[in-house]
């Protein structure tokens, strides 16, 4: 049994340090560190990655929060909601689709307005494994906040949740699926495959940017079944959670992109292989 975390923050004098925020910061730092190494392996100047991060990270955080608030409006604007809570990012709530899309847009703006040593698609390929590792680290923050867990379970690795954190209708259950852990493991697996498989998958990876699309595809496959286990409040469309529909759409779009990319691939393009 995974025990309930005893605290979600620590007091350092007048400052309150939230573990969720520490996980997000650690994840971002890891993505930048690995991205710099992979970008340099392509022949680029690793300082490009650090400079781009100054644009991409704020875009990603704002985009992630916007997506979360838009897809969970009752929590902030409902009968018992408080709009001010939408600004309390340290309490949890960053939608990955908003974070990735806004973050990528911020990076694209940098590449359009600055001189860089490599192209934007090459940058995305270099960053992909680090980004998904950052997502894994971020999920540890969900554990400390006791959020994003799944249906009740009696499995050995069931997650203990405090009574006050249990959703309505589940007050009598003590242990739940640790979906944060499932996603953490899945993200690490995707990162490993992105680093190790580009060589064997040369028939699929034919253009710069394809590794990033493989990251999106791999993540959405896992998100589908993990999202189906979650019981936190969510908007439903035809009986399915909104994020399941988003994952399906993104997954299909990724497959179509890779199929089209293979048809027009340029063997002369240089892609990340390690």
Q: What is the largest CA-CA distance in the chain?
A: 61
Of 96, 105, 106, 98, give the one whose Cα is nearest residue 131: 96
Cα 143 to chain centroid, rounded: 15
Of 223, 244, 225, 222, give the one whose Cα is nearest residue 234: 244
pLDDT band at 200 (very low <50, low <70, confident <90, very high): low
Check residue 270 and give its pLDDT. 47
Check residue 33 and give its pLDDT. 97
Give the tens place of pLDDT for each residue, 80-118: 777 777 777 766 677 888 999 999 999 999 999 999 999
Q: Which residue has the higher pLDDT, 58 or 273?
A: 58
CB atoms near residue 107 (< 10 Å): 22
What mean pLDDT comes out for the span 197-224? 82
pLDDT band at 183 (very low <50, low <70, confident <90, very high): very high
Check residue 237 and give its pLDDT. 85
What mean pLDDT comes out for the span 108-136? 95
Check residue 151 and give its pLDDT. 95
Cite the beta strand spans of 140-232 per DSSP E.
Answer: 159-160, 175-176
Give the tens place of pLDDT for each residue, 218-251: 999 999 999 999 988 778 888 888 889 999 999 9
Return mean pLDDT, the chain: 87
What mean pLDDT comes out for the span 69-75? 76
Check residue 273 and give its pLDDT. 47
In the chain, domain spans: 15-144+155-263
Q: End-to-end CA distance of the chain, in Å?
A: 37
């Amino acid at each position: 049994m995974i025990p309930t975390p005893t605290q979600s923050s620590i007091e350092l004098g007048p400052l309150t340090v939230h573990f969720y925020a520490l996980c997000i910061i650690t994840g971002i730092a890891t993505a930048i560190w690995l991205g710099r190494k992979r970008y340099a392996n392509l022949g680029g100047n690793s300082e490009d990655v650090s400079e781009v991060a100054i644009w991409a990270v704020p875009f990603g955080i704002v985009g992630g929060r916007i997506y979360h608030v838009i897809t969970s409006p009752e929590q902030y604007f409902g009968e018992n909601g408080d709009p001010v809570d939408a600004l309390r990012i340290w309490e949890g709530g960053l939608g990955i689709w908003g974070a990735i899309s806004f973050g990528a847009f911020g990076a694209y703006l940098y590449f359009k307005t600055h001189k860089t040593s490599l192209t934007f698609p090459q940058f995305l390929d270099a960053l992909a494994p680090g980004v998904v590792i950052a997502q894994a680290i971020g999920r540890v923050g969900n554990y400390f906040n006791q959020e994003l867990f799944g249906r009740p379970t009696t499995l050995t690795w069931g997650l203990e949740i405090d009574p006050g954190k249990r959703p309505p209708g589940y007050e009598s259950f003590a242990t739940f699926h640790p979906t944060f852990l499932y996603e953490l493991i899945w993200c690490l697996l995707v990162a490993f495959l992105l680093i190790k498989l580009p060589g064997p998958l040369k028939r699929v990876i034919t253009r710069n940017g394809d590794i990033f699309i493989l990251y999106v595809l791999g993540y959405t496959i896992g998100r589908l079944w993990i999202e189906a286990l979650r019981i936190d409040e969510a908007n439903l469309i035809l009986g399915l959670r909104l994020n399941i529909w988003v994952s399906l759409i993104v997954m299909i779009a990724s497959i179509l992109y890779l199929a089209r990319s293979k048809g027009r691939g340029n063997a002369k393009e240089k892609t990340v292989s390690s």
